[in-house]
Structure 1
Amino acid sequence: MSITVKVRVPGTTANCGPGFDAVGIACTIYSELELFLSDEGTLRIEIEGEGKGRIPTDSNNIIYQAVQAVLDRVGKHYQGIYLKLYNKIPLARGLGSSAAAIVGGLIAANHATGNTLTQEEIFSMATIIEGHPDNVAPAIFGGITISVMQDTQPVHLRFMPEKMLNMVVAIPEFNLSTHTARQVLPDTITMKDAVFNISRVALLIGALCKGEFHHLQYALEDKVHQPYRQELVPGMQQVFDAAVAKGAYGAALSGAGPCLIAFTDSNCDRIGKAMVQAFSKCDVKAEYISLSIDIEGAKVIE
């Protein structure tokens, strides 16, 4: 007996300025994963697109580990596991490539074994594998998500803005691992900085919910992680300033970086070119892409 499933998973941007480890948005950039299960054969993994030649193609592959986690959970065993990843999400850039891989593996394996696990169970498993819920939540559910940990269980709220929102992402040519980006963060922050971020997160969610995007010029400000990570992304403030000067409502570090993301409802190309030029002035080669909010999240396409 053999089973084939194909899944599409969106990339994501997390934090959105002050919403550290809590706020995430599903973006219209995707990975597609094909899973083939058989009673005969061995493990085989192929990668096309981003990460080809860099992503492990053995049992260390995170997609395989996600697939195996589902098989173990539901009590299934297959000798032959074939995975093929068609990836458009840049690796180690702050666009949720690892979350997409984990979610894709979980959902493909769940579908292949009879859909016995709920979305919430998939969410919980993805959070355990990823280590935090802020990217896996929008990857699964789509839209904008707020995630919290209640004891050991992740909880999420999903919503969509009342108006269209575009995101212009400047992608520098260098990678930045989440581990490295977390190492520069302080163990504690002041009460003043905590209050600053709480107020900005409240304004951020309100502005996004109501579509009052002009508030983003203040709501995207942060004092918890971006000031410390700025040293890892040359030209970060200059790129932010260039985006705003060309009409963006505001800009932020995408996830742990190094991608920088500007929010707008128009002038995407003008903003993107200005962001790339600002990076260039700091001797950083970059490109840009224009995205919108994915509303579906991960889904089986075949």
Structure 2
Amino acid sequence: MSTIPIGRRVEVEVPATSANLGPGFDSLGVALDLNNSCSFESVQRPGVSVEVVGEGAGRLPTDERNLIVRSLDLGLKRLGQQVVGLRLRAVNRIPASRGMGSSSAAIVTGLIAAHALARPDEEFDPAEWLGLADEIEGHPDNVAAALYGGLVVAYRPLTPGGLDLGAGAAAGVVGVHPDVRLLALVPSTPLGTELARSVLPEAVPHRVAAANAGRAALLVHALSQAPELLFEATADWLHQNHRADVMPQSAVTLRALRQHGIPAVISGAGPTVLVIGTPDQIEEAETVPTEGFVPVRSGVGVGARVVAAGTAPTGA
């Protein structure tokens, strides 16, 4: 196993993401133009030093347990590389445990940094890393959106013969209509993904599955070509109602927005509420009372990227 040269440095940015977008459960994801940034330096002193600024400061692990560090380690091992010591500084702007892809951002941060440290002269290919990111996260929609940016449709490839779902993950990227805007309504109270998933039923009636499949297909069309259909396209019967009891404030806010004809959904596992609409719909959404939520306007974001790279004068 090769060792990363002492003093090699990279800085990466990774976007917040929203998954599901209403009917597209565990398949549709979109990147927001809100980013976490993280700098890495390979140093002579063995071990890991982590500084966290912003969201999660004082709560997130600052050693080998940190999700960025664990993902980086898995990425380096995949490439047959290791570091003697590592110093990193994470500046977190993505709210944690709010359904905005903070864990996916951490995973992708570690993986893109591993590639940049180990192969500084090679272009980063999201397709090469989506499978590992999905393996770490457990579902592909957020990590795919973080890797590729824009709107993605994530899926699991079929097994040989095409009769069942196989391992790994893949994604298609869909162009988003220029009139589409995003508004995240972020509550002060977090909600863990495990709890949000635990309340979902094991099975649903065929008519529910069929209705959601139709709306998910319509949503791709609405986001790419016909934003006037976004209200119809964001209807969901598969998961949001089942989660209402564990995020009652979000459920009330979602209902209020949709009663005004505003295309609103629960962002990922919640509890953030996401409005996906035209500029006029975003402005109207901001007039609806949403006490306890912080509004964050956003466009559609770009994927993870290296923003700086080089070698430190000394790798102390």
Q: Deviations over 1:219-260 (max 9, x none)?
A: 111111101011122233432344346673x11000000000
Task: Calculate the TM-score normalised by the size of structure 2.
Answer: 0.88
Task: Calculate the TM-score normalised by the size of structure 1.
Answer: 0.92
- Counterpart for residue 311 of structure 2: none
**Within 1, Cα distance between the matches of 2:126 and 2:279?**
34
Unaligned runs of 5+ in 2: 1-5, 158-165, 309-316
Query: Within the alignment, does 1:146 sit opposite 2:153 as a pair?
Result: yes
Q: What is the aligned length?
A: 292
Identify which range, 139-148 or 222-231, moves more after superposition.
222-231
Query: Within the alignment, does 1:99 sit opposite 2:79 as a pair?
Result: no
Q: What is the letter of the counterpart of residue 264 of structure 1?
A: G
How large is the Cα RMSD of the aligned pairs? 1.6
Query: Within the alignment, does 1:42 sit opposite 2:47 as a pair?
Result: yes
- Counterpart for residue 34 of structure 2: 29
Identify which range, 39-48 or 57-66, moves more after superposition.
39-48
SS for the counterpart of 1:21 is strand
**Within 2, Cα distance between the matches of 1:184 and 1:242?**
23
- Counterpart for residue 162 of structure 2: none
**Within 2, Cα distance between the matches of 1:113 and 1:69?**
12
SS for the counterpart of 2:147 is helix
Query: Within the alignment, does 1:176 sit opposite 2:188 as a pair?
Result: no
Taking a change above 3 Å as real, the CA distance of residues 244 and 192 of structure 1, as seen in their structure-2 partners, is closer
* Contact kept in structure 2, 1:95 and 1:255, CA below 8 Å: yes
**Within 2, Cα distance between the matches of 1:225 and 1:46?**
37
Q: Deviations over 1:197-237 (max 9, x none)?
A: 11111111111121x11212121111111010111222334
Percentage of matched positions with identical amino acids? 33
Identify which range, 53-62 or 7-16, moves more after superposition.
53-62
* Contact kept in structure 2, 1:273 and 1:288, CA below 8 Å: no
* Contact kept in structure 2, 1:170 and 1:272, CA below 8 Å: no
* Contact kept in structure 1, 2:179 and 2:279, CA below 8 Å: no
- Counterpart for residue 230 of structure 1: 244
SS for the counterpart of 2:36 is strand
Q: Deviations over 1:45-66 (max 9, x none)?
A: 0100011111111211110001
Unaligned runs of 5+ in 1: none
**Within 2, Cα distance between the matches of 1:8 and 1:145?**
19
- Counterpart for residue 300 of structure 1: 306
Shift of 1:269: 4.9
- Counterpart for residue 215 of structure 1: 229
Identify which of 184, 188, 198 aligns with 2:213: 198
Query: Within the alignment, does 1:52 sit opposite 2:36 as a pair?
Result: no
Alignment of 1:1-302 (within 5 A): 1-114=6-119, 118-150=125-157, 151-210=166-225, 212-244=226-258, 248=262, 250-267=263-280, 268-274=282-288, 277-278=289-290, 280=291, 285-294=292-301, 296-302=302-308
